[in-house]
Amino acid sequence: MKIGPIELPNNLFVAPMAGVTDRPFRQLCKRLGAGYAVSEMVTSKRELWASLKTSRRLDHSGESAPVAVQIAGVEPAAMADAARYNIDRGAQIIDINMGCPAKKVCNVFAGSALMSNEPLALAIVEAVVGACAPRNVPVTLKLRTGRRESERNAVALARAAERAGVALVTVHGRTRTQGFSGSAEYDTIAAVKAALRIPVVANGDIDSPAKARAVLRATGADALMIGRAAQGRPWIFREIAHELATGTPLPPPATMAVRGWLLEHLHDHYALHGEASGVRSARKHIGWAVRALPGGEAFRAVMNTLDHCAAQVEAVAMFFDALALRHPRLPQPASVACAANDDALALVA
Ligand SMILES: Cc1cc2nc3c(=O)[nH]c(=O)nc-3n(C[C@H](O)[C@H](O)[C@H](O)COP(=O)(O)O)c2cc1C
């Protein structure tokens, strides 16, 4: 699997998720089987690049290659500038966001709203490709199926983007107006795949190895992108990779291994976000990790009252130590729900 000249270890991608897929989380997913991860979106508004939030998003120190950065905006020249700026800071692949229904993005006609203005969408693609090509940096595009059900134009837009020089297209199988409701559909993704020569990535509601296999079969896609199902369960990538390769399921991870991954993630998280902010933003990752485990809900309530990293780490370690005594392997939930989380719901228009 290649993006332009860049070879990837496998075809399982971590979806960009604002507020979730910071560098520590991307690194953890890559360590646990993901072949590729894209940063959270970085705005094309130059005046925000120095803000704490954006500068954290621009920090790729220690990230394993390839470093891929998603940019979002509405002005072709500003998007081209954003691409150059990110390449100067280590980006090896630039992804254009036309897939996110976030209100603050769509109100200014960016993200998935751009899909209903094809000339502007294409002008952005051309400008970004124009900025990246001289640096030999491939450009990728993330789409939804269209703005609304009656306007499913992903095939037309993806074709035009391919002609303009885009190296890969990802399609989330929902329209913009759907937000995260209903189920992802895969027919439009299959149509995009059939229409293009560049690699196509299928995205939406992939939450198990069985679903991964079904989506690959239904779409013929070259790769799969997984978002919400990786929250609190980043080892889903190696579970999928193993089952696709061997046809047999990987046993659930040892509880003490999960403890180790989570603690390692927390330390990386605090190092990037600092004590005060890190202890708060780590709560959602811990909550996702324990939500389906015995005693997880009660633990989450207590953990949310802790205000210091050391106390948070100690509580998590004790929770998993106690769990491991009863369950040497991580207990499996009856079914893993793939619902939009609170952050996503807050973002969706
Ligand atoms: C919390 C959250 C934040 C997201 N932020 C972005 C983003 O910054 N850029 C983007 O293109 N998509 C974003 N998405 C959409 C995901 O990349 C993905 O397309 C979507 O969640 C569907 O995949 P899934 O069913 O595997 O979660 C976000 C989704 C969630 C849940």
End-to-end alpha carbon distance in the chain:
34
Which of 251, 281, 305 is the C-terminal boundary of a domain?
251
Q: Domain of residue 284: give its range.
A: 255-326
Residues 261 and 245 in one domain: no
Asked whether residue 340 is domain-assigned, the answer is no
Nearest-atom index, ligand 1, CA of 40: 8
Same domain, 172 and 308: no
Judge whether 122 lies within some domain. yes
Domain ends where: 225, 251, 277? Answer: 251
> Is the pLDDT confidence value at 114 over 90?
no
Distance CA 145, CA 170 (A): 10
Residue 331 lies in a domain: no
Q: How many domains does the chain have?
A: 2
pLDDT at 104 over 70: no
CATH number at residue 244: 3.20.20.70
DSSP structure class, residue 40:
P
**Rounded distance, CA 79 to CA 329, Å?**
47
Please tell me the predicted confidence (pLDDT) of residue 110.
Answer: 66
Output the residue whose Cα is nearest ligand 1's atom 1. 344
- Co-location of 22 and 120 in the same domain: yes
pLDDT for res 203: 98
Q: Is the pLDDT of residue 349 over 70?
A: no
Q: Are residues 185 and 307 in the same domain?
A: no
Helix (H, G, I), strand (E, B) or coil at 336: coil
Q: Is 174 found in the same domain as 271? A: no
Question: Which whole-number Å values give the CA distances from 150 to 175, 187, 308, 327, in the listed order?
Answer: 10, 15, 50, 50
The one-letter amino acid code at 317 reads A
Q: Does residue 346 sit within a domain?
A: no
Are residue 161 and residue 263 in the same domain, yes or no? Answer: no
Please give the distance, rounded to the nearest whole angstrom, from the Cα atom of residue 290 to the centre of ligand 1. Answer: 21
Residue 265 shares a structural domain with residue 173? no
Tens of pLDDT along 259-285? 999 999 999 999 999 999 999 999 999
343 lines ligand 1 (CB under 6 A): yes
| Bridge partners, residue 142, by sequence | 97, 170
Residue 24 lies in a domain: yes
Looking at the predicted structure, is the pLDDT value of residue 182 above 80? yes
Residues 164 and 304 in one domain: no
Best mutation site among 12, 13, 17 for ligand 1 pocket (most ligand atoms within 8 Å of CB): 17
Whether 347 maps to a domain, the answer reads no
Report the predicted TM-score, pTM, of the whole model to 2 decimal places.
0.93
Query: In this structure, are 246 and 259 located in the same domain?
Result: no
Q: Could you tell me if 259 and 203 lie in one domain?
A: no
Both 143 and 169 in one domain: the answer is yes
d(CA 290, CA 317): 12
Answer whether residue 206 is part of any domain. yes
The confidence score (pLDDT) of residue 150 equals 87
Classify strands 2-3 and 6-7 as parallel, antiparallel or unpaired.
Answer: antiparallel
> What is the pLDDT, as a whole number, of residue 47?
81
Confidence of residue 41 (pLDDT cuts 50, 70, 90): confident
Q: What is the pLDDT of residue 347?
A: 38
Domain co-membership, 179 together with 165: yes
Q: Say yes or no to pLDDT of 81 above 80.
A: yes
14 vs 188: CA distance, rounded Å: 21
Mean pLDDT, residues 304-323 taken together: 97
